[in-house]
Amino acid sequence: MGLFDRWQRPTPPPTGGHEGSVLPALAPDAADRLLALTRSELASRGLEATIDAGALQLSGGQVFGLHNLSVVAAGTRERRWPQVVASHLDALLNPPDTSGPPDPGQVLAQLRTRSEIPTQPAYPAQEPLPGVIAMIALDFPDHVVESVDLPDGIPDTATAMTLARSNLRELPPPEHQSYCPEEDDPTSQVHLFVTDDFFGAARLLVLDELLERAGVEVGPGGVLLCAPCRHVLVVHPLVGPGVLAALRWMVAFARGEHETQPGPVSPHVFHRAADGQVVQATQVDEAGHISVVAEDGLADALTEILGEPEDD
């Protein structure tokens, strides 16, 4: 698969897109041109809008992110941008009719960083990763619709998530490939799960079954996880000193894919302990620099594998 050719490399992937750009997939001047084109297209439709932090805010109060549009534009010749923008706005401004009870087989879930969702869900969304929630989504033949309300006929979040997990299990299995950032150390092995559908990251909700099917064993140290965009989930079992190389690779990978791929989820790496407890293992400072924070179960796992840190 072409995606794996891009990701499997002996050195860490780029740390992200264009620094200082409101749309990191594009250079600042290109981002400005795309935003101006978007405003112009909206004006031709009789709509007023402002752009703030890469999001489109209509005068009626609707807010739409422009990250996915910028990713598509980055891979398209600029002379075709007017058609790309028009098509994108058609999809945003003319959503399909989702009234009425859905087919139970359509109910799935997508992972989203809560702080990046313009309209918060009215239901108590589950949080499989710190700061990342599972949004109920309806899977139609040619599009996916996230729902801020429980679909008709579904009484509560628990019922919706039971359906979502069941339907995730029925989807075609992700393509799975392993890679060792430290070539001579098998304990650095990371596992990439990639899908063409929009629910690759959401496979986290059925992680134990996913790993069992792939033959990936999880020991007492738990696993490192990242879900940078909707199509990808990356897992590293903590089993030896290669965890440091794996962690470095995942930190760079998560940030790069989150900034440059459609359907961003989270730029962070997380640790899930053997008991199921999940903590965020990275943090971003005000300057945009990422650092690793080893606390709770991750600190215990690293100490077990690497020994106590030496005093300065």
Q: What is the DSSP letter of 116?
A: G
19-23, 163-167, 257-261: segment of lowest average pLDDT = 19-23
204: closest CA among 246, 237, 232, 244? 232
Close Cβ partners of 98 (under 8 Å, ≥ 6 residues apart): 138, 145, 147, 151
**Amino acid 53: pLDDT:** 64
The CA–CA distances, whole Å, from 142 to 1, 30, 105, 145, 229 equal 22, 30, 15, 10, 19
Q: For residues 265 and 246, is the Cβ–Cβ distance under 8 A?
A: no
Residue 123 tokens, joined: 């239901």
Q: Each residue of 52-86: pLDDT tens digit?
A: 766 777 776 667 778 888 888 888 899 999 998 88
Beta strand 175-179 with 143-146 is unpaired
302: closest CA among 282, 273, 278? 273
22: closest CA among 78, 76, 80, 65? 65
Is residue 157's pLDDT more than 80? yes
93-107, 201-215, 244-258: segment of lowest average pLDDT = 93-107
Is residue 180's pLDDT more than 70? yes
Q: For residues 241 and 214, is the Cβ–Cβ distance under 8 A?
A: no
Close Cβ partners of 274 (under 8 Å, ≥ 6 residues apart): 218, 219, 220, 221, 222, 297
Q: What is the DSSP letter of 203?
A: G
- Of residues 123 and 284, more confidently modeled: 123
Q: Which residue has the tokens 């795309």?
A: 34
Task: Report the predicted TM-score, pTM, of the whole model to 2 decimal places.
Answer: 0.77
Is residue 14's pLDDT more than 50? no
**Amino acid 190: pLDDT:** 98
The CA–CA distances, whole Å, from 219 to 51, 169, 247, 301, 307 equal 47, 23, 17, 10, 17
Is residue 268's pLDDT more than 90? yes
Report d(CA 162, CA 305) in Å as an integer. Answer: 36
Torsions phi, psi for 187 (to 5 deg): -75, -5
32: closest CA among 51, 48, 45? 51
